[in-house]
Structure formats: C-alpha cells, structure tokens
Amino acid sequence: MKMSSDIKRVMSRKSPAGILQIMVKQLMEEEGLWEETLTSDIPTSWEKYGDLLLFNGEKYFRDDRWKHTPNLWQCICKALKAKRIGFKHFISEDSFRSPNVKLVYGVNSWVEFKDNGVIFTWDVQFNMFCAGNAPERHRIATFLCEGETVVDMYAGIGYFTLPYLVKAKAKLVYACEWYPRAVKALKINLSINKVASKCIVYEGDSRLVCPKGIADRVNLGLLPSSESGWQAACEALNPISGGVLHIHGNVTSSIKNKKIINDKFGCKDCVDILCNYDPNEKDLNNNKFCSDVGIQPSFIFHSKTVIPVTNVSIKWKQMEWKLWSLHVCHKLSDIFCSVHEQVWKLQICNLHHVKSYAPHIDHLVLDVKCTPQEYLVQ
C-alpha cells in the first residue's frame, strides 16, 4: 500500500483516528472492498498500552468484509504506530471479572502501562484493567496514608494497592486476591514498583483470608457490588481506633417511582428516613432536593444508636446516590453491632463519582469513617 504525497499532506494534519480512517479506507479501495457504510466500523477510539491496541469488539470491525482484507492488521498498526492488536468484548460476569479479550495480531499479550507515576503490567487476555477507573486511582494517590495499614480486599493486579503504596505512602498493605493470574501480575507489579516489602499478599477469598482487627483503611473495589465483603471489612478495622471504608458500588438512577426504589434496595427504613428527614425532600422523584444537602445527624436504625452523620457538604447529584449511601450506612451499622457488640459511629466523608458505567448506572465510591463509640469526640 503506497501513499501519494497528497494523502501524506492531508494525514500530517489529521488526528490518529483521522489517519486510521484514511489508511484503512485506501486499503479497502485497493482490494475493491470499500463501501461508505463501512465507515462506522472503523474505530474512532481505542485503548493503547505500549505497542498494543485494544479495540471494542462489540462496536468495531464487525462487518464480514474485514475478515477478507489482507494486511488489515498491519495497516492499522502502521497507522497507529503499534505492533499488536486485541479485541475487547463484554467483560465476563464470572467471579474473576475476566476481560474477554482476544489477541488478533502479535504474539505476546502482556503489556506495561505507566499511570500517574505507577507502573502496571498485566496480560490483557486474562486480567482486566479499567482505564475508566483512573479518577479513583489518582484520588487514592492523593491520600496521606503514612503510618497506616490498609487492606485491599479485591487487589487484582494492584490497581489500588499500588497507588496506596507508591503514592499515598501506606506503611503496609494486605492485598487479598483469589485469581492466580491476577496474583502473578500483582507480585510482578509490586516488585517493579519497588514496594514488595510493604505488601503482604493473601491469595484466596478475601471474605475468608482477610486479616482481622488491624486496618486503618479498607478498600472494597468490586463491581457491581462489594456488599458480600462488608462484614470482613468491618472485622478488619482496628477495634480501638476504627478506620475508613472505601465502598464501591454501581448505583442505578432515574428510577421513575418510589415503589421501584423500595423494591430495589429492599429497605423501607432508608426510604422512610429520607422522606421524613426534611419536609422539602418528601418527593423522592424530585432530584432538585438532593443537589447540595448532606445527610445530617441523626438517623437511628433499629433503635441502635448508630448514626450516619456528615459535616461535609456532599453533592448528591441523584437522589438514588443519597439513598444508596444511607443504605450502606444502615447495613454497616447492623454489621458493627453484631460483629463488635458495640455501637460504632459512621461518618460519610465523601461520595466520589468514578465513572458512568452504563446509561443510568454510575460507579460510586462512598468513604465512611467508622469509630467505636467510646472514642467519639463530641
């Protein structure tokens, strides 16, 4: 495939997506296979890790004609300065959250990627790496964790473990992970980032292997919900000084009526609290009310005086975000009462929006400070 000087001139002014478009179209024209309808099949976005390109296989190159185009992968690699190509399909709903990636060009599927001063390496065919979680990786990097012991209950290849160690300067991280291929990448990553001596890897189900009574902070980075790990996380916290839980979850919004909300969370208590708390907030379908109101003292669940409070103003962009936060506190308060037979104060410190996961579904992280009641400073 030869490029005329005209095409070269046009390309020097084009974005990578524009260049890809021109080169792929030219190749297809030379093969007599081009039709304008194929334009939407040419990628306009992709992930690139080192020299490996990852395209969305649900969206691009779906037409059969691509299969019959010789030198297509070489042409794409030339256009985007790469050497390997993979296609990413919907993530498996298995317990490892396997990535469902197929390498179509090139031989080795390990990649290396430097993000915010942290080096990650993994096998794209077996480990998922969510580029969209960068806001959470970068937020963790800003935490001040000197002297702290952290538990990462779903460590994977070290998405959050590494920023805790490399950037937030945690004293020690216990990293729990049950997928051997992720553990392999995690250990390599700890070593290349020179933090292996500050991490203890627990290979197994975090609900069983998670250490107890030692943590200043527990990270629960599992979607769509980390709820199955909440009890182990509460048990992991230091029983004297407590600590912070970072709870991830996918939260569905824009639900049309209150009944569905009740069904969804299965928790009348939380809906009632939200309705009764402020007369102006009675209409659960009105999103305006939750724009800048924090959950204030004091909600009492099941007559146990466990109180989710916040003295920071949180932007509750959606009413369901507020309801979810309240419900997380509700469940945690129950767990603390049964695990520690003691009342713990829960403070919502922050609600962080990581990304839009799907239409009407948002990936949120709720930061909850948990303190045994004897240590409350009133």
Ligand X SMILES: C[S@@+](CC[C@H](N)C(=O)[O-])C[C@H]1O[C@@H](n2cnc3c(N)ncnc32)[C@H](O)[C@@H]1O
Q: In the complex, which residues of this chain contact ligand X (CB under 6 A)? A: 95-97, 128-130, 133, 154, 156, 159, 176-179, 182, 205-207, 221-222
Closer Cβ to ligand X, 72 or 176, answer by number: 176
CB of 182 to ligand X, least distance (A): 4
CA-CA distance, 289 to 266, in Å (whole number)? 22
Percent helix, strand, coil in the chain, to 5, is 40, 25, 35
Q: In whole angstroms, what is the distance from residue 84 CA to residue 70 CA?
A: 16
Q: Which is nearer to ligand X, 96 or 110 (CB)?
A: 96
Nearer to ligand X, 233 or 368 (CB): 233
CA distance 209 to 324: 28
Q: In the bound complex, what is the minimum distance in angstroms from residue 134's beta carbon to ligand X?
A: 9
Nearer to ligand X by Cβ, of 65 and 355: the residue is 355
Count, residues in the chain: 378
Q: Which residues contact 214 (CB under 8 A, 6 or more apart)?
A: 149, 151, 174, 236, 238
* CB of residue 361 to ligand X, shortest distance in Å: 15
HSE-up of residue 305 (Cα within 13 Å, Cβ side): 4
Cβ closest to ligand X, residue 208 vs residue 376: 208
Closer to ligand X by CB, 69 or 206: give it.
Answer: 206
In whole angstroms, the minimum distance from the beta carbon of 98 to ligand X comes to: 8
CA–CA separation, 151 vs 176, rounded Å? 8
Residue 329, classed as helix, strand or coil, is helix
Name the residue nearer to ligand X (CB basis): 176 or 319: 176
Q: How far is the CB of 129 from ligand X (least distance, A)?
A: 6
Nearby residues of 259 by Cβ (< 8 Å), 6 or more positions away: none
Distance of alpha carbon 126 from its chain centroid, rounded?
17
The number of beta carbons lying within 10 Å of the beta carbon of residue 58 is 11
Q: How far apart are CA 122 and CA 212, in angstroms?
A: 30
> Angle at Cα 34 formed by Cα 30 and Cα 37, nearest 5°?
165
Least distance to ligand X from the beta carbon of 224, Å? 11
**What minimum distance in Å lies between the beta carbon of 91 and ligand X?**
8
